[in-house]
Structure 1
Amino acid sequence: MATHSPLTPQTTRLRHDKGPVSRRHLLAQGAAVAGATMAVAGSPIPTQAATADQGAAIPVIHYRSKAVDGVNIFYREAGPADAPTVLLLHGFPTSSHMFRNLIPALADRYHVIAPDYPGFGQSDMPDRATFAYTFDRFGELVDALLDQLGVTRYAMYVMDYGAPVGWRLALKHPERISGLIVQNGNAYEEGLKEFWDSIKAYWSDHSEAHRKALYVLVTPETTKFQYTDGMSDLSRISPDNWVHDQALLDRPGNAEIQMDIFYDYRTNLPLYPAVQAYFRKHRPPALIVWGQNDKIFPADGAHLYKRDLPEVEFHLLDTGHFALEDKADEMVPLIRDFLDRKVK
């Protein structure tokens, strides 16, 4: 498999809209990318002292929670508070943990926020008898969290479940969105292929039989499958991923919560025409970095964005669903270059 250094000409532009890149900025960008790449590869990230002579320090990540409408929402935050904000919205069955390597690779230059939805990660897991586990509710809570943090403009990285959460934010506040990074996150009904057949059967009748058939999606085998299927080099994929996610899925009551969310996913499809109209009307700067071997959100769904975002920057990568796990060394330079040029 061909690989590139994070600063090879194939993957990184050496200029951006603010003018020529200084040596100090180039070294800072290289150090940040290298830190993320080494973390993915399993090597220790260099200490601040070790990188001081390169003009860059490893950003500090803060792990915080805020009470939002009575629910404690956990989030990771890093980077200068007055810098452009990048909101990272995670997928199923994980949490902001999926961004643990990306955050330090962006936080030297950007204010990065990565929340966990209720029932995921370190956020509260309210009783489903009194709390609605819906994408509408997730969108409302993320929106309220951003209000508490005083964030009124941001770029969004959306992946898997993060896409319908992010689309709700964009439809409510189109003026707040400074850019989109889409990684295996759907906005088109045609993007839901064979993997979704059993879920669509559940949508059709909400029957107990079809609900029980979906419990396979929260088993250890399926969790591991999501991280390993379609990956060309499994030695790059940390087994901590599926061990971490499965421990949270196995909490008493969480499987039932996930079934509720699978059923609510049907509410995203009627929103797709409005989301596509948002793309056409507002034309947000957009970057696609998509794992082309993903069976959950196959590349068919990625190509469809070109219909409504003709200027989208489009990259299919030889990887699967959780592309950041083995392609961060290719993705981080693309993401930083995009943000440097497009997001102010």
Structure 2
Amino acid sequence: MNHPSGIDPALYPFAGHFHRLASGHRMHYLDEGAAGAPPVVMVHGNPTWSFYYRNLVLGLRDQQRCLVPDHVGMGLSDRPGDAEYSYTLSSRVADFGEWLDAVEPVRPIDLVVHDWGGAIGMAWAAAHPDRIRRIVLLNTWAFTIPDDVALPRSLSFARTRSGAWLIQRFNAFSGLAVRMATVSRLAPEVARGLVAPYRGAPQRRLATLRFVQDIPLVPTDPAWAVLEQTERRLPALRGIPMLIAWGAKDFVFDDRVLARWREIFPEAEVDYLERAGHYVLEDAADQIVPRVAAFLYD
């Protein structure tokens, strides 16, 4: 396929696929590996896209069918305006379920989630525990914000009028993320790949802004009810094998968030990665990829 400027095809050597949602918007996704192989679904957060999972796809596609969607407005998916699409958590969960029903409607899946992909993927999983085989959590959450956890200053600023202007005008959110979300400095070609879909016109960054603005801080925020419902349903996933691979140097989801996951899922296996940040797959792919492969086939 033709890659947007800035994406090195050697790093992202995948053919793209598209699913048209009932809304009319197209979701781009990767479909790597044999169609009959056990399916693993990887859900990205904000402001990443399927590129974030490239190393995991390369590591798993010989043994699994790797399905990796780009959320509407992100990656290589369509970019509707506010008048054509509701950029909310509930819409994301609905899109994910509709897409998955189209591409892998029957077989149980292995689910991998990162960042706000956890809120999306785990909301769906908690409502469909019979369709989940194994779960991998990568620096994520899917519950209401604990009282002792505050939004990082960078995210708080992004919700201000000045922050919104910088995100849409100068791609500030994804640009800062590639500098702040890892312990080791990203190779230039990797940093370019992560931000490439969000370069250009401000419309290309609308989804990254709306994602931040949709983070629920109080019960009256629309996404709060979705996370509250998900949190109530999460115990339905107990008993499903779970691996938590956690970057210790995360400026967004710190050890208090990890502690909440441990509280909900005390039997989960936990790999605590001291030299990894929020983009844990960038800092620790050499550790995580073989670990996930072994976990999914234990």
Query: How many angstroms does 1:214 deviate by?
Result: 4.2
- Report what 1:253 is aligned to: 203
| Pairing 1:202-217 to 2, within 5 Å after superposition | 202=159, 210-216=160-166
SS at match of 1:304: helix
Could you tell me how far apart the structure 1 residues matched to 2:101 and 2:120 are? 16
- The yes-or-no answer on 1:280 pairing with 2:235 is yes
- The yes-or-no answer on 1:65 pairing with 2:18 is yes
SS at match of 2:98: helix
- The yes-or-no answer on 1:120 pairing with 2:74 is yes
Match of residue 140, structure 2, among 173, 185, 190 = 185
Query: 1:226·1:321 contact (CA, 8 Å) conserved in 2?
Result: no
Could you tell me how far apart the structure 2 residues matched to 1:299 and 1:186 are? 12
Query: 1:92·1:161 contact (CA, 8 Å) conserved in 2?
Result: yes
Runs of 5+ in structure 2 lacking a partner? 1-7, 217-221
Number of aligned residues: 276
SS at match of 1:291: strand
Change (3 A) 1:228 1:194: same
Change (3 A) 1:228 1:255: closer
Deviations 1:138-172, CA, capped at 9 Å, x for gaps: 22122111111133321111111211110221133
- Report what 2:48 is aligned to: 94
Could you tell me how far apart the structure 2 residues matched to 1:201 and 1:220 are? 11
User: AA paired with 1:240?
Assistant: E
| Pairing 1:209-228 to 2, within 5 Å after superposition | 210-216=160-166, 219=170, 222-228=173-179
- Report what 1:106 is aligned to: 60
Query: How many angstroms does 1:230 deviate by?
Result: 6.4
Deviates more, 1:107-116 or 1:165-174: 165-174
Deviates more, 1:278-287 or 1:88-97: 278-287
Change (3 A) 1:101 1:160: same
Query: 1:227·1:320 contact (CA, 8 Å) conserved in 2?
Result: no
User: AA paired with 2:116?
Assistant: Y
Deviations 1:57-103, CA, capped at 9 Å, x for gaps: xxx84321121221111101111222221100012111101111110
Could you tell me how far apart the structure 1 residues matched to 2:244 and 2:25 are? 32
Could you tell me how far apart the structure 1 residues matched to 2:50 and 2:175 are? 18
- Report what 1:49 is aligned to: none
- The yes-or-no answer on 1:263 pairing with 2:213 is yes
Query: How many angstroms does 1:174 deviate by?
Result: 2.0
Change (3 A) 1:271 1:142: closer
Could you tell me how far apart the structure 2 residues matched to 1:112 and 1:325 are? 18
Match of residue 315, structure 1, among 271, 274, 295 = 271
Q: Which has the higher helix share?
A: 1
SS at match of 2:263: helix
Runs of 5+ in structure 1 lacking a partner? 1-41, 46-59, 203-209
Query: 2:51·2:194 contact (CA, 8 Å) conserved in 1?
Result: no
Question: How does the TM-score come out when normalised to structure 1?
Answer: 0.72
Query: 2:114·2:137 contact (CA, 8 Å) conserved in 1?
Result: yes
Query: 2:178·2:194 contact (CA, 8 Å) conserved in 1?
Result: no
- The yes-or-no answer on 1:325 pairing with 2:282 is yes
SS at match of 2:110: strand
Query: How many angstroms does 1:179 deviate by?
Result: 1.7
Query: 2:167·2:173 contact (CA, 8 Å) conserved in 1?
Result: yes
Change (3 A) 1:258 1:270: same
Query: How many angstroms does 1:129 deviate by?
Result: 1.2
Could you tell me how far apart the structure 2 residues matched to 1:110 and 1:91 are? 22
Question: How does the TM-score come out when normalised to structure 2?
Answer: 0.82
Could you tell me how far apart the structure 1 residues matched to 2:104 and 2:183 are? 41
**Percent of pairs identical after alignment?**
25
Deviates more, 1:298-307 or 1:256-265: 256-265
- Report what 2:3 is aligned to: none
Q: CA RMSD in A?
A: 2.7
Could you tell me how far apart the structure 1 residues matched to 2:184 and 2:152 are? 23
Match of residue 305, structure 1, among 239, 256, 261 = 261
